[in-house]
């Protein structure tokens, strides 16, 4: 009897504890979801308020697929995100493999320290640095290119190079940090496997192909599957701070469009609809990719 | 592992070390360049003569930063944001993570609560509904708009939860036998034991508040309320002339000591310094945090 009462009072304490943070997400996450769903199906006018604005059904969602800007943003988002996913997968793996071959401890640690650094800087800071070193008239990079005898490149101002610049700078910011997972996986490989392979006459290259890569393939598959949930995330912070009107054609993504429509042009309902469309598709993709990660790699995120 | 000093291995090593060194330079050059710009006088920066070493060494740009009221105002907003935001993050994370770290049998309803938290992680209402909420709550232009919506980070909760689960069950059981209530167990036993992961989450929280800019941009109408990153974005977007007009140091402009370039560089660099100071900790705890978070929950 006494034991049961205590159990109940402890249960009560748990409920009380969890409700404090829960209230926060109800107010700041769930309520916006509800208002979001209604705003997207209404013609929201700030003067009317959400409740009194008229319902318009799917009008704004139909507009998504009949407006050139949104279609362009969708296309750009997919292209940029897929390019980034591929680059952010291959380069960290290769770099982790190369770094794993380094036997001088301090050099390895120094390399990690330096390559992680850009990860911790905001895109505001990095955009400030990048716009400076990538500018056409005398930016550090273009000075180098001109010294080699080539024409300067319009990295951030031309539709030919903007996406490439986004991908390269994104890799530059994140590759060091992304190698952590693979380096951890590499240290987890059983050293006796290498010894066995060496006894069988496998050289370093063969060992890499037959021991190292299979040893981390699980992680590679897993990271690939999980990154699918990100195909509609082309990186708002980065694009917003690097793009300009002249590269909207190749660089305007869903998130930047939502910002301009919603905050600058105050087309609240249309902007909400575009954002909601993105969130719903992302949700389906994340749920699907996590299901696949569980099924094929035996990994449960949640 | 044995090293075989074959010719192939030596060639590979030379290639490998050279390549990694090049990558390192690629990571460092942009930062060094900005640092060099900030110490150079405008005559050289405007002629694009500065590469990795300051030319016409001057502290004029830093004098400007020190006397720039707007810079320090936004720095103050960021400090205020950290002072409120980080403790709020920590308290909410622990309060959510502790009960959620229990088994369903010990905490009935756990899985529903967990579901509610996890759903927030993968579904976002979007920009406009959040903006309308802050507006309706009359939080625009207040510090609360910056620290309350960011109060919960589900990733941190999962991290903390996994850490609590790693604490031996016997500790809790013996305390329960002694008649301790759960809040006592949390504050007297679990929190002291969880210090390393609390440190990790403190750093995560510090980082995200330090680097946040978007909420400042949309929730603050008055520039006085901009946090540092939002202010910096404004500086980077504005033209040289606009920025120079805000300089009170007319004498410096007359001497051609400052220009858009070195002013921007100096402000960028000053705002990186706090991060560089805690960088050794960041590196250590972020790595362990990442490993901890990937432990199955």
Same domain, B137 and B112: yes
Question: Looking at the domain assignment, is residue B240 inside a domain?
Answer: no
Q: Which residues contact B159 (CB under 8 A, 6 or more apart)?
A: B97, B197, B200, B201, B289, B292, B293
Same domain, B41 and B112: no
Same domain, B263 and B273: yes
Query: Do residues B65 and B71 lie in contact, with contact meaning Cβ atoms separated by under 8 Å?
Result: yes
Residue of B nearest to A134 (CA): B30
Q: For residue B67, what are the CA distances in angstroms to A37, A78, A112, A222, A270?
A: 48, 45, 37, 51, 44
Query: Does position B64 have pLDDT exceeding 50, yes or no?
Result: yes
Query: Do residues A89 and A224 lie in contact, with contact meaning Cβ atoms separated by under 8 Å?
Result: yes
Q: Does A244 touch chain B (CB under 8 A)?
A: no
Report, as an integer, the average pLDDT of B1-16.
78
Same domain, B77 and B178: yes
Question: Looking at the domain assignment, is residue B128 inside a domain?
Answer: yes
Same domain, B186 and B103: yes
Query: Does position B106 have pLDDT exceeding 90, yes or no?
Result: no
Question: Looking at the domain assignment, is residue B235 inside a domain?
Answer: no
pLDDT for the residue A1: 44
Same domain, B78 and B191: yes
Same domain, B61 and B75: no
Question: Looking at the domain assignment, is residue B231 inside a domain?
Answer: no
User: For chain B, what is the domain count?
Assistant: 2
Residue of B nearest to A131 (CA): B236
Question: Looking at the domain assignment, is residue B115 inside a domain?
Answer: yes
Position B197 confidence tier, pLDDT thresholds 50, 70, 90? confident
Report, as an integer, the average pLDDT of B18-44.
92
Q: Which structural domain range is residue B267 located in?
A: 7-67+247-293
Query: Is there a contact between B283 and A113 if contact means CB atoms under 8 Å apart?
Result: yes
Q: Which of A30-44, B125-139, B276-290 comes out lowest in average pLDDT? A: B276-290
Instruction: For residue A138, list chain B residues with Cβ-Cβ distance below 8 A.
Output: 47-48
Report, as an integer, the average pLDDT of A253-274.
93
Same domain, B118 and B175: yes
CA distance to partner chain A, nearest, from residue B4 (Å): 9
Task: Enter the pTM of the model.
Answer: 0.89
Query: Does position A3 have pLDDT exceeding 60, yes or no?
Result: no
Same domain, B83 and B204: yes
Q: Does A120 touch chain B (CB under 8 A)?
A: yes
Query: Does position A91 have pLDDT exceeding 50, yes or no?
Result: yes
pLDDT for the residue B95: 96
Same domain, B142 and B82: yes
Question: Looking at the domain assignment, is residue B188 inside a domain?
Answer: yes
Last residue of a domain, one of B201, B219, B237: B219
Same domain, B59 and B85: no
pLDDT for the residue A225: 82
Query: Is there a contact between B125 and A33 if contact means CB atoms under 8 Å apart?
Result: yes
pLDDT in tens, A116-166: 899 999 999 999 999 999 988 888 899 999 999 999 999 998 999 999 999
Report, as an integer, the average pLDDT of A258-263.
92
Q: Which residues contact B261 (CB under 8 A, 6 or more apart)?
A: A132, B37, B42, B45, B46, B240
- In angstroms, the CA A163 to CA A276 distance is 25
Q: Does B211 touch chain A (CB under 8 A)?
A: yes
Query: Does position B94 have pLDDT exceeding 80, yes or no?
Result: yes
pLDDT for the residue A257: 95
Query: Is there a contact between A128 and B291 if contact means CB atoms under 8 Å apart?
Result: no
pLDDT in tens, B241-284: 666 666 555 655 655 667 788 888 999 999 999 988 888 888 77
Residues 53-82 of B with CB under 8 A from A: none
Query: Cα A26 vs. chain centroid, distance in angstroms?
Result: 25
Query: Cα A36 vs. chain centroid, distance in angstroms?
Result: 23
Output B165-172 pairs: Cβ under 8 A, ≥24 positions apart: B165/B101, B165/B297, B166/B295, B167/B193, B167/B194
Same domain, B114 and B171: yes
Query: Is there a contact between B126 and A32 if contact means CB atoms under 8 Å apart?
Result: yes
Q: Does B244 touch chain A (CB under 8 A)?
A: no
Residues 91-120 of B with CB under 8 A from A: 92-93, 95-96, 98-100, 102, 106-109, 113, 116-118, 120
Residues 34-73 of A with CB under 8 A from B: 35-36, 39, 50
Query: Does position B296 have pLDDT exceeding 80, yes or no?
Result: no
């Amino acid at each position: 009897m006494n034991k049961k009462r205590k159990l109940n009072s402890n249960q009560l304490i748990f409920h009380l504890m969890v409700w404090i943070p829960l209230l926060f997400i109800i107010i700041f996450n769930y309520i916006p979801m509800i208002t979001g769903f209604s705003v997207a199906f209404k013609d929201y006018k700030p003067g009317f308020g959400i409740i009194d604005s008229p319902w318009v059904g799917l009008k704004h969602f139909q507009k998504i697929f009949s407006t050139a800007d949104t279609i362009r943003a969708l296309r750009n988002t997919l292209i940029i995100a897929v390019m980034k996913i591929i680059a952010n997968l291959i380069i960290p793996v290769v770099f982790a493999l190369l770094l794993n071959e380094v036997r001088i401890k301090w050099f390895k640690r120094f390399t990690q320290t330096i390559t992680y650094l850009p990860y911790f800087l905001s895109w505001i800071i990095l955009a400030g640095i990048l716009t400076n070193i990538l500018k056409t008239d005398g930016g550090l990079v273009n000075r180098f290119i001109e010294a080699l005898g080539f024409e300067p490149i319009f990295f951030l101002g031309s539709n030919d190079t903007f996406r490439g610049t986004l991908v390269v700078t994104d890799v530059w910011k994140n590759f060091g940090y992304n190698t952590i997972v693979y380096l951890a996986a590499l240290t987890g490989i059983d050293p006796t496997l290498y010894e066995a392979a060496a006894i069988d006459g496998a050289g370093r290259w063969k060992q890499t192909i037959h021991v190292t890569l299979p040893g981390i393939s699980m992680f590679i598959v897993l990271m690939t599957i999980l990154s699918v949930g990100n195909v509609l995330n082309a990186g708002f912070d980065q694009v917003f701070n690097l793009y300009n009107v002249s590269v909207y054609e190749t660089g305007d993504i869903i998130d930047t469009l939502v910002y301009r429509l919603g905050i600058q042009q105050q087309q609240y309902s249309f902007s909400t609809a575009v954002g909601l469309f993105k969130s719903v598709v992302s949700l389906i993709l994340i749920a699907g990719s996590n299901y696949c990660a569980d099924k094929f790699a035996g990994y449960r995120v949640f | 592992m044995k090293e075989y000093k074959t010719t192939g291995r030596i060639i590979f090593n030379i290639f490998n070390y050279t390549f990694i060194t090049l990558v390192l330079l690629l990571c460092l050059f942009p930062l060094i360049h900005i640092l060099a710009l900030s110490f150079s006088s405008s005559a050289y920066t405007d002629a694009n003569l500065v590469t990795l070493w300051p030319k016409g060494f001057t502290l004029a740009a830093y004098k400007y930063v020190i006397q720039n009221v707007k810079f320090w105002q936004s720095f103050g907003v960021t400090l205020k944001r950290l002072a409120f935001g980080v403790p709020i993050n920590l308290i909410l994370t622990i309060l959510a993570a502790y009960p959620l770290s229990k088994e369903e049998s010990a905490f009935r309803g756990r899985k529903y609560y967990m579901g509610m938290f996890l759903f927030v992680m993968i579904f976002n209402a979007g920009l406009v509904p959040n903006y309308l909420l802050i507006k309706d709550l009359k939080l625009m232009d207040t510090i609360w708009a910056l620290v309350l919506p960011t109060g919960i980070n589900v990733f941190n909760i999962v991290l903390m939860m996994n850490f609590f689960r790693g604490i031996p069950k016997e500790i809790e059981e013996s305390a329960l036998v002694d008649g301790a209530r759960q809040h006592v167990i949390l504050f007297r036993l679990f929190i002291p034991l969880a210090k390393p992961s609390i440190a990790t989450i403190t750093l995560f929280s510090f980082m995200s508040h330090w680097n946040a800019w978007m909420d400042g941009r949309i929730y603050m109408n008055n520039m006085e309320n901009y946090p540092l990153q939002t202010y910096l974005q404004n500086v980077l977007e504005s033209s040289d002339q606009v920025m120079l007009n805000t300089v009170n140091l007319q004498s410096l402009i007359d001497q051609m000591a400052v220009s858009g370039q070195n002013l921007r560089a100096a402000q960028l660099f000053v705002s990186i310094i706090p991060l560089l100071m805690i960088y050794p900790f960041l590196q250590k705890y972020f790595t362990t945090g990442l490993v901890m978070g990937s432990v199955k929950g």
